[in-house]
């Protein structure tokens, strides 16, 4: 374990922020106070954080409909995000985007996306820009086992190889594309990375419930793609989705005891805690203190979101064009 | 003023802007042509000759020849635009927009709004459109009615080489996404073009190409020339037509149209797209709503029929609005009482 104590605490905190942000939304959505469709990232935190802990603001990411985790891991403000999801005009996108369209260009976060598979072509463009600029920055696209079946993903993979874009395709296989199992919907079965390999990319695989697996894998992937001339790469992380496709999904497709089992044995936060305490690098007390701090931070974000200004009818008309 | 063909006005303007601003990059299928072949790069130079010579001048980083992957081209343009570049993406035929539409209307057009105004998306999507080549139903369509209805996009339809130059430069320097529709039957059209490297035509300002008192004819693109021919014919009989070239369908210059109809009291809109939910219907409705008192006859839309674009010469000729059909429409509104 090469990470400093500070780096470990930071990584844990980032994952915990995502976890509690999503758990709180899961609760609050049931009150009916939050409008729209919400897709929670719980269970996949190690992927977003294990990837983004390597990135600077100059590196770009393109996210998905299940994007809160990617946004938080890339540095989007917790309060600004909570306000956005609550539909406030003080939100990161002034209440015009909502859960599925959170973006913060200054942080290198080029947008969550409501269209499955739409992000990868955008990340190819961002990766071409990184290549042109020649400063070793990269663009990362997150896709699930659903998006890996979209033609846009195939086009993007080929185009990235042809143009030698500095793009990384991160596939998060959480085993469900909406309500359908990957064993049915992904022709290559438990293997998405082999598709990227077939397009001519170097590929890696890792355990998406283990922060250290993700982090160490990404160290290699990033070193490769940041090297001029190498072009794109892909990585597949096997992970778990703790909630349904959307909030309100009755999840009748889950097996008996499945949710309890993955919460018990495939929880990245539990896995992290065990690793660092077994190794004696961090104490339970360190992590407990962070847990309490994060819970309070999320509570504060909800307080702020509830009190924040609501948008007005005039706000409908702004921000369509820069000039028209 | 020097004379130049419509297609040369495209490539000249792109070259001038690429030389001026290193953030301008081009991408599209075969815009270099010949990549990976014994003939080598630029063996083709773009099938419309609208990118000839760019690769040699600006290199592979800025003139990106892509695979046939229209979604990825449009998506890459979106990603480049979000990353500080000013992409000019070519969709070889406007008809291929169906393959790539998500990246245009759900991504490019909406980023600024969805992200609360905190980004700009300076992308130009160029595409060759229109009938006249007997290219049949999948290579001949006018698609502006689909795109004009999409908030977030600007839509440009030049009808002369000079307008290509002035409008394309404006499009490239614009910070919003712009759809630039080039009529493929106009690529060989020759006309005077200012050689001022700062020559720009602002969006939303129509051009009055013929002036008259009796009827207002609104059009754009290939059919604008047909309307001018009708106006010239009728002028010999003492009938005066205002012929208005919209130049851009989004934004729309309502003022020029309404001012003209206030004088003439008669409106014809000549539009290459199918009749239902069309630009022509939209402008007729606009005039009915805002200039009703001035009208001496019902506004009249001249569109092709509600059919796909047919192949055979006789069929395509029958499909497109012609000079004779436009003239008949003018006489119809003049005869109304």
Q: Chains A and B: how many Cβ contacts under 8 Å?
A: 158
Does A225 score more than 80 pLDDT? yes
Q: Can you tell me the mean pLDDT for B14-39?
A: 96
φ and ψ at B207, to 5 degrees? -115, 130
- Residues of chain B with Cβ-Cβ distance to A159 below 8 Å are 66-67, 69, 72-73, 76
Nearest to A96 among B74, B87, B114 (CB): B114
User: For chain A, what percent of residues have pLDDT higher than 70?
Assistant: 100
Residue with tokens 């195939």: A154
- Are A151 and B64 within 8 A, CB to CB? no
- Are A128 and B64 within 8 A, CB to CB? yes
Q: Does A62 touch chain B (CB under 8 A)?
A: yes
Does A294 score more than 80 pLDDT? yes
Identify the pLDDT of residue A150.
96
> Is this model's pTM higher than 0.90 or not?
yes
Domain boundaries, chain B: 3-192, 207-335
Catalytic residue among B139, B183, B205, B306: B139
CA of A317: which chain B residue's CA is closest?
B113
ipTM: 0.93
**Mean pLDDT value across chain B:** 97
Q: Can you tell me the mean pLDDT for B15-20?
A: 98
Domain A5-317 is found in CATH 3.10.110.10: no
Residues 6+ apart with CB under 8 A from A296: none
8 Å CB contact between B206 and B258: no
Q: Can you tell me the mean pLDDT for A117-145?
A: 98
- Are A103 and B119 within 8 A, CB to CB? yes
- Are B84 and A156 within 8 A, CB to CB? no
User: For chain A, what percent of residues have pLDDT higher than 90?
Assistant: 97
Does B181 score more than 90 pLDDT? yes
Identify the pLDDT of residue B15.
98
For residue B105, the 8-state DSSP code is I
Interface test with B, best of A64, A89, A98, A122 (most B CBs within 10 A): A122
- Residues of chain A with Cβ-Cβ distance to B178 below 8 Å are none
Q: Can you tell me the mean pLDDT for B21-26?
A: 98
**What confidence category does residue B43 fall into, taking pLDDT thresholds of 50, 70 and 90?**
confident
Q: Can you tell me the mean pLDDT for A43-68?
A: 98
Identify the pLDDT of residue A190.
73
Identify the pLDDT of residue A51.
98
Q: What is the pLDDT of residues A176-221, one digit of tens each?
A: 999 999 989 998 877 999 999 999 999 999 999 999 999 999 999 9
Cα–chain-centroid distance for residue B328? 25
B3-192 and B207-335, same CATH topology: yes
Q: Give catalytic status of residue B183 as yes or no.
A: no
Q: At what angle do helices A45-52 and A268-278 cross, to 10 degrees?
A: 60
Least confident of A36-50, B32-46, B111-125: B32-46
Residues 6+ apart with CB under 8 A from A301: A21, A78, A79, A81, A82, A83
Which string of b and e fits A90-110 if b means at least 16 CB within 10 Å?
bbbbbbbbbbbbbbbbebbbb
Identify the pLDDT of residue A1.
52
Cα–chain-centroid distance for residue B164? 9
A87 to chain B nearest CA, in Å? 12
Question: Cα–Cα distances in Å, from A304 out to A2, A95, A299, B52?
Answer: 38, 14, 9, 57
- Are B80 and A125 within 8 A, CB to CB? yes
A200 to chain B nearest CA, in Å? 15
Q: Can you tell me the mean pLDDT for A61-74?
A: 98
Q: Can you tell me the mean pLDDT for B60-85?
A: 97
CATH of domain B3-192: 3.40.50.970
Longest dimension (CA), chain A: 61
Q: What is the pLDDT of residues B74-89, one digit of tens each?
A: 999 999 999 999 999 9
Q: Which fold has domain B207-335?
A: Rossmann fold (3.40.50)
Nearest to B175 among A113, A318, A322 (CB): A322
φ and ψ at B167, to 5 degrees? -80, -35
Q: Can you tell me the mean pLDDT for A60-89?
A: 98
Does B1 score more than 90 pLDDT? no
- Residues of chain A with Cβ-Cβ distance to B61 below 8 Å are 131-132
- Are A322 and B176 within 8 A, CB to CB? yes
For residue A100, the 8-state DSSP code is G
CA of B175: which chain A residue's CA is closest?
A322
Domain boundaries, chain A: 5-317
Q: What is the pLDDT of residues B104-151, one digit of tens each?
A: 999 999 999 999 999 999 999 999 999 999 999 999 999 999 999 999
């Amino acid at each position: 374990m090469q990470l400093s104590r500070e780096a470990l605490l930071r990584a844990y905190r980032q994952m915990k922020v995502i976890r509690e942000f999503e758990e709180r939304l899961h609760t609050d959505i049931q009150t009916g106070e939050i409008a729209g469709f919400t897709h929670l990232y719980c269970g996949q935190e190690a992927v977003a954080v294990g990837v983004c802990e390597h990135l600077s603001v100059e590196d770009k990411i393109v996210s998905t409909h299940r994007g809160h985790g990617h946004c938080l891991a890339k540095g989007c403000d917790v309060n600004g995000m909570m306000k956005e999801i609550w539909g406030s005009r003080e939100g990161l996108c002034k209440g015009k985007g909502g859960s599925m369209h959170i973006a913060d260009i200054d942080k290198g976060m080029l947008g969550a996306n409501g269209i499955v598979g739409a992000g990868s072509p955008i990340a190819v463009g961002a990766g071409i820009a990184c290549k042109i600029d020649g400063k070793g920055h990269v663009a990362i696209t997150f896709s699930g086992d659903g998006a890996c079946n979209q033609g846009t993903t195939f086009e993007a993979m080929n185009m990235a190889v042809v143009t030698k874009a500095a793009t990384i395709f991160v596939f998060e296989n959480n085993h469900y594309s909406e309500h359908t199992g990957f064993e049915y919907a992904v022709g290559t079965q438990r293997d998405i990375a082999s598709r990227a390999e077939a397009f001519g990319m170097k590929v890696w695989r890792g355990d998406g419930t283990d922060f250290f697996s993700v982090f160490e894998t990404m160290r290699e992937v990033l070193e490769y793609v940041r090297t001029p001339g190498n072009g794109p790469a892909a990585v597949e992380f096997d992970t778990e989705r703790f909630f349904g496709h959307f909030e309100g999904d009755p999840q009748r497709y889950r097996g008996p005891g499945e949710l309890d089992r993955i919460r018990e044995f495939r929880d990245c936060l539990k896995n992290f805690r065990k690793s660092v305490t077994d190794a004696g690098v961090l104490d339970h007390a360190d992590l407990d203190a962070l847990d309490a701090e994060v819970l309070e931070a999320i509570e504060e974000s909800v307080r702020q979101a509830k009190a924040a200004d609501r948008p007005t009818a005039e706000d409908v008309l702004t921000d369509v064009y820069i000039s028209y | 003023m020097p004379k130049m063909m419509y297609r040369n006005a495209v490539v000249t303007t792109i070259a001038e802007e690429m030389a001026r601003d290193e953030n301008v990059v081009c991408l599209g299928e075969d815009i270099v042509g010949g990549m990976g072949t014994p003939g080598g790069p630029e063996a083709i130079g773009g099938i419309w000759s609208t990118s000839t010579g760019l690769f040699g001048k600006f290199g592979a980083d800025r003139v990106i020849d892509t695979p046939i992957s229209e979604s990825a081209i449009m998506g890459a343009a979106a990603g480049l635009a979000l990353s500080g570049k000013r992409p000019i993406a070519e969709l070889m035929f406007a008809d291929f927009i169906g393959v790539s539409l998500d990246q245009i209307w759900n991504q490019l057009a909406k980023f600024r709004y969805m992200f609360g105004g905190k980004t700009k998306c300076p992308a130009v999507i160029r595409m060759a459109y229109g009938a006249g080549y007997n290219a049949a139903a999948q290579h001949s369509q006018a698609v502006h009615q689909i795109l004009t209805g999409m908030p977030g996009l600007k839509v440009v339809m030049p009808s002369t080489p000079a307008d290509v130059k002035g409008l394309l430069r404006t499009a490239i320097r614009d910070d919003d996404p712009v759809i630039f529709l080039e009529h493929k039957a106009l690529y060989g059209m020759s006309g005077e073009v200012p050689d001022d490297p700062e020559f720009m035509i602002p969006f939303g300002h129509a051009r009055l190409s013929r002036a008259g008192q009796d009827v207002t004819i609104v059009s754009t693109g290939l059919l604008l020339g047909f309307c001018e021919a009708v106006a010239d014919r009728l002028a010999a009989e003492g009938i005066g037509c205002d012929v208005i070239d919209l130049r851009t369908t989004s934004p729309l210059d309502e003022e020029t149209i309404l001012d003209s109809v206030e004088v003439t009291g008669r409106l014809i809109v000549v539009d290459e797209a199918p009749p239902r939910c069309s630009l022509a219907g939209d402008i007729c409705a606009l005039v009915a709503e805002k200039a009703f008192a001035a009208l001496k006859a019902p506004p009249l839309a001249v569109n092709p029929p509600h059919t796909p674009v047919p192949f055979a010469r006789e069929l395509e000729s029958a499909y497109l609005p012609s000079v004779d059909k436009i003239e008949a429409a003018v006489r119809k509104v003049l005869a109304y009482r």
